[in-house]
Amino acid sequence: MSVRALVVDPSAPVAVRLGEVAEPVPGPGQVLVEVSHVSLNHGDLNDARSGRVPVGAVLGSDAAGVVVRAAADGTGPVEGTRVVALTPGAFAERVSIDVGALAELPAGLDPATAVGLPVAGVAALRSLRAAGLGPGKRVLVTGASGGVGLFAVQLAARAGAHVIASVGSAARAEGPAGAGADQVLIGLDGLGDPVDIVIDSVGGPQLVAAWELLAPGGSVQSVGWTSGEPAVFPPYATVGPAKSLSSFVIDSEAGADLAVLTELAAEGALTVRTGWQGPWDRFDEAAEALHERRIRGKAILKVTPHQHRTEPRRPTAAGPEPQRPADGEHPGIP
């Protein structure tokens, strides 16, 4: 039996096409999930072109849906459980998923929202933790209008940090401002005082500038490199009081952190801002909009049956605004 999937195809306009693959056969510690929604990440587009995901293989990392076969070893959720996961090959109608890579959806959280959490939310949560987030820290988030950035702003603000959000243009400022940023800057202009933590997803010259703004003892987490530009450090930029520039990657199963993020989202303490939504047969539109920096937040795709599409023709651009935490409420980083 085969299932439909978004597979890597270098000859397609965005190197991805909707095709058919064999239905996956779950291993003993895996559940089989019928996927209803997937979320497109910047890294997926890199993966499709870089060879990291082989030609013909299923793309994607973020999926949400319902367990249709429980794990044979008795671990994990039972059939009928609604789940969200961070898993390779997520963009298919059915996916085998390790039980440690998923979280059950709390009541009140729908899959179309939860599916925006895995890659971007886990990257934001883990990089902030690694950097030693705490109350009163000055945290700079670059690429703050994007997926990782908007979650990092919200989580840092919730922990009582002073959050400075950097965006590429004035038009991109409103998302981070609504998410709890104390300051929103275009680039890094006007940021005079040092910062303790940088969550950087832009790289290039902005990473160099952020390093120069980092206080002694501080930490830059290099999460991504959307600028695609080289970072050239002036001589002696790395000589001085100790501070660190750390590489970052999501390198272990995300289920426990996904449970944290889904609980926060269900409580209304973390907002998934949907900047593009539509059926997955319009993947190319979503990919182009993400590439051209036209999406404010997450791109969410609905997995639709081949001949029974019921979606409206146009994607909707609006999603709920991230919520600023109430004054005085700083529950820390989970």
Ligand X SMILES: NC(=O)c1ccc[n+]([C@@H]2O[C@H](COP(=O)([O-])OP(=O)(O)OC[C@H]3O[C@@H](n4cnc5c(N)ncnc54)[C@H](OP(=O)(O)O)[C@@H]3O)[C@@H](O)[C@H]2O)c1
Q: Answer yes or no: are the C-beta atoms of 56 and 22 closer than 8 Å.
A: no
Q: Pick from 290, 300, 301, 333 the residue near ligand X by CB under 6 A.
A: 290
CA pair distance 172, 281, nearest whole angstrom: 27
Supply the minimum distance, in Å, between the C-beta of residue 5 and ligand X. Answer: 21
- Helices 118-130 and 255-267: crossing angle in degrees, nearest 10, is 100
Supply the minimum distance, in Å, between the C-beta of residue 110 and ligand X. Answer: 21
CA pair distance 218, 207, nearest whole angstrom: 14
CB atoms within 10 A of CB 289: 18
Kindly write out the interface string for residues 205-244 of this chain, putting x where it contacts ligand X by CB under 6 A and - elsewhere: ------------------xxxxx-----------------
Using CB under 6 A as the binding rule, whether residue 147 contacts ligand X is answered as yes
Q: Pick from 123, 199, 254, 265 the residue near ligand X by CB under 6 A.
A: 123
Using CB under 6 A as the binding rule, whether residue 202 contacts ligand X is answered as yes
Compute the chain's Rg from CA coordinates.
20
The sign one gets for the Cα dihedral 323, 327, 332, 334 is: negative
Q: Answer yes or no: are the C-beta atoms of 108 and 124 closer than 8 Å.
A: no
Q: Pick from 35, 71, 85, 120 the residue near ligand X by CB under 6 A.
A: 120
Nearer to ligand X, 67 or 276 (CB): 276
The secondary structure element, H or E, covering residue 291 is helix 283-291
Residue where the block lists tokens 């002036």? 234
Applying CB under 6 A, the span of 69-77, 117-125, 130-138, 277-285 interacting with ligand X comes to: 117-125
Using CB under 6 A as the binding rule, whether residue 101 contacts ligand X is answered as no
Supply the minimum distance, in Å, between the C-beta of residue 308 and ligand X. Answer: 30
Q: Pick from 168, 218, 255, 279 the residue near ligand X by CB under 6 A.
A: 168
CB atoms within 10 A of CB 107: 7
Using CB under 6 A as the binding rule, whether residue 250 contacts ligand X is answered as yes
Residue where the block lists tokens 């023709």? 313
Supply the minimum distance, in Å, between the C-beta of residue 177 and ligand X. Answer: 12
Q: Answer yes or no: are the C-beta atoms of 275 and 319 closer than 8 Å.
A: yes
Using CB under 6 A as the binding rule, whether residue 178 contacts ligand X is answered as no
Q: Which residues contact ligand X by CB under 6 A?
A: 41-43, 46, 119-120, 123, 143, 145-149, 167-168, 172, 201-202, 223-227, 248-250, 290, 293
